[in-house]
Structure formats: structure tokens, C-alpha cells
């Protein structure tokens, strides 16, 4: 895939995307006028688009563009801001401001974690069979006592750590 800047260049040159590049007619868009607000991608890594943000100017904006050709000391701060807004969509401060998108992402993450936990709980309750009797604490205690009584592996095993005179584990 091409980055945004390259796609805007392709679209500006007349290629209407993949279909326009490969069709026999050349482009998919007609030769009509562009909208007054073009798709200029002014971003931090591509801050200077080739086309201005606003292409069709009204009478007031045209007068301001004519005034721009003169001395910039004659322009007021509001006029300079208006000229900037004709050329660019956003300032660097507006481009770099934090968004609240992280809240949506975290909400979706927690929703899916909760949903997965609900599915796991449902499977444990309704799908999986009950635990076998050999996994209960009573059975494990009886099995350990049986191993101690039979003296299973008395040299290196579990029974080697049992003191038979004191009836407790060795320290």
C-alpha cells in the first residue's frame, strides 16, 4: 500500500485509485471541478501539502489574498490567521493534541476480556465434566498416607523426607 502522501499525489494526477490506474478509460473521476476543501494531508511527517486547503475563494478571501501580496506588516493578526487557515487545515498544535481514542480502545479491550472470561466460566460450568475424585484433597491425603505406609522409594523419594519415629516431616 502507498502512504497517504503518495496516494494524494496519485489521485491529484488523475489516477482514481487502483481501478483508475488499470481501467481502459484512464480515470474513474470525471473532469469536473474539485470541491472547495480538498483532501490535503497536512500531518507532522508531511506538513506542506502541494495544494492549499481551500481552493475556491469567496470575495472576502480573494481580497485577503490580494492584500497578502503586499507588506505583511500591514496585516492584522486575525488576517494572518485567516490566510493560514486558507492554506492549511490544522496547526501543529492541533495536529499534535491528544485524542480520547485511547478510552475507546481500552473500553473495547476490557469488553473482550470480560466476554472471554464469561465464555470460559460458561464452559467450566456447562461444558467440562466434573473433576475426577482423584483430584480431591481427601484422596490426595489418603494416597500420601498409602505411600508412607508402603515406604515407596525410601532412598531419594518423598518417603525419605518422613520421620517414622516422630510421625512428622524431617526438617
Checking if the pLDDT of 24 tops 50, the result is no
Given a contact cutoff of 8 angstroms between Cβ atoms, the answer to whether 8 and 41 are in contact is: yes
- Domain assignment present for residue 30? The answer is no
Over residues 9-13, the mean pLDDT reads: 49
List 46's β-bridge partners, or say none. 43
Burial class (CB in 10 A: 0-12, 13-18, 19+), 40: buried
Checking if the pLDDT of 66 tops 80, the result is yes
Contacts 24+ apart (CB under 8 A), 10-16: 11/39, 12/50, 12/51
CATH number for the domain harbouring residue 45: 1.10.442.10
The pLDDT tens digits for 71-90 are 888 889 999 988 888 888 77
Over residues 105-122, the mean pLDDT reads: 98
The pLDDT of residue 41 is 55
Separation CA 142–CA 60 (nearest Å): 94
If asked whether residues 51 and 78 sit together in one domain, one would say yes
If asked whether residues 51 and 93 sit together in one domain, one would say yes
Among residues 45, 42, 43, the alpha carbon closest in space to that of 88 is found at 42
The CA dihedral of 82, 86, 92, 95, to the nearest 10 degrees, is 120
If asked whether residues 138 and 108 sit together in one domain, one would say no
The pLDDT tens digits for 153-169 are 989 998 999 999 999 99
If asked whether residues 92 and 43 sit together in one domain, one would say yes
The predicted model scores a pTM of 0.42
Checking if the pLDDT of 94 tops 90, the result is no
If asked whether residues 79 and 122 sit together in one domain, one would say no
Separation CA 97–CA 42 (nearest Å): 14
- 61-90 as b/e: b if 16+ CB within 10 A: eeebeeebeeeeeebeeeeeeebeebebbe
CB proximity list for 139: less than 8 A, separation 6 or greater: 133
Checking if the pLDDT of 47 tops 80, the result is no
- Where residue 143 falls among pLDDT bands split at 50, 70, 90? very high
**C-alpha cell belonging to residue 30:** 470525471
Domain assignment of residue 143, given as a range = 131-170
- Domain assignment present for residue 4? The answer is no
If asked whether residues 55 and 84 sit together in one domain, one would say yes
If asked whether residues 78 and 51 sit together in one domain, one would say yes
Separation CA 116–CA 166 (nearest Å): 51
Over residues 96-115, the mean pLDDT reads: 94
- Domain assignment present for residue 20? The answer is no
The pLDDT of residue 84 is 85
Domain boundary among 97, 120, 141: 97
Number of domains in the chain: 3
Amino acid at each position: 500500500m502507498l502512504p497517504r502522501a503518495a496516494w494524494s499525489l496519485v489521485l491529484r494526477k488523475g489516477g482514481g485509485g487502483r481501478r483508475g490506474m488499470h481501467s481502459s478509460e484512464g480515470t474513474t473521476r470525471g473532469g469536473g471541478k474539485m470541491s472547495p476543501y480538498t483532501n490535503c494531508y497536512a500531518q507532522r511527517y508531511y506538513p506542506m501539502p502541494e495544494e492549499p486547503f481551500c481552493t475556491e475563494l469567496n470575495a472576502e478571501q480573494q481580497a485577503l489574498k490580494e492584500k497578502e501580496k503586499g507588506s505583511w506588516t500591514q496585516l492584522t493578526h486575525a488576517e494572518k490567521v485567516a490566510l493560514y487557515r486558507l492554506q492549511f487545515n490544522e496547526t501543529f498544535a492541533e495536529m499534535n493534541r491528544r485524542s480520547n481514542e485511547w478510552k475507546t480502545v481500552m473500553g473495547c479491550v476490557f469488553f473482550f476480556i470480560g466476554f472471554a472470561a464469561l465464555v470460559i466460566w460458561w464452559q467450566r460450568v456447562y461444558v467440562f465434566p466434573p473433576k475426577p475424585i482423584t483430584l480431591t484433597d481427601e484422596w490426595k491425603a489418603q494416597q500420601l498416607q498409602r505411600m508412607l505406609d508402603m515406604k515407596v522409594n525410601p532412598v531419594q523419594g518423598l518417603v525419605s523426607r518422613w520421620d517414622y519415629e516422630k510421625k512428622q516431616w524431617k526438617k
